[in-house]
């Protein structure tokens, strides 16, 4: 004879890590704090890189006065750097941030799903 419970729908097994986060336990808080810290470190690294690269442009013009009047292809170098070269730097920084933020979240999801 078979048990009538064998045909009953089984509850999905929820990994412990996601349950800890959903129930807002202390361990869940530690997991979320870890994710937030990783994302904050990434954001500060990208912002720091942009500040160094973009802040270096005015510093270049201050330390090397000849660059203020230098022309490239008939256009003043300051205009080229600030009007043209600036945008690819910002775009690359944004792409780096998004790619790494997605990687961090994927690793976090995989880690929490295993616990």
78-99 pLDDT, tens digit per residue, is: 888 888 888 999 999 999 999 9
pLDDT of 52 higher than 90: yes
Cα–Cα distances in angstroms (integers) from residue 21 to residues 14, 32, 37, 112, in the given order? 11, 7, 16, 9
User: Confidence band (pLDDT; 50, 70, 90) for 111?
Assistant: confident
pTM over 0.75: no
In angstroms, the CA 112 to CA 21 distance is 9
Kind and range of the H or E run holding 72: strand 71-72
pLDDT of 28 higher than 90: no
What is the percent of the chain with per-residue pLDDT over 70, rounded to a whole number?
A: 86
pLDDT of 1 higher than 60: no
- 14, 95 contact by CB (below 8 A): no
């Amino acid at each position: 004879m078979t048990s009538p419970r064998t045909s009953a729908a089984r509850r999905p097994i929820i990994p412990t890590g996601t349950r800890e986060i959903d129930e807002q336990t202390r361990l869940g808080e530690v997991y979320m704090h870890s994710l937030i810290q990783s994302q904050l470190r990434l954001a500060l690294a990208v912002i720091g890189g942009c500040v160094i690269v973009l802040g270096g442009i005015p510093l270049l013009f201050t330390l090397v006065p000849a660059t203020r009047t230098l022309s490239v292809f008939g256009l003043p170098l300051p205009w080229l750097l600030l009007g043209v070269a600036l945008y690819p730097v910002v775009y690359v920084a944004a792409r780096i941030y998004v790619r790494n933020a997605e990687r961090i979240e994927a690793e976090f999801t995989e880690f929490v799903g295993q616990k």
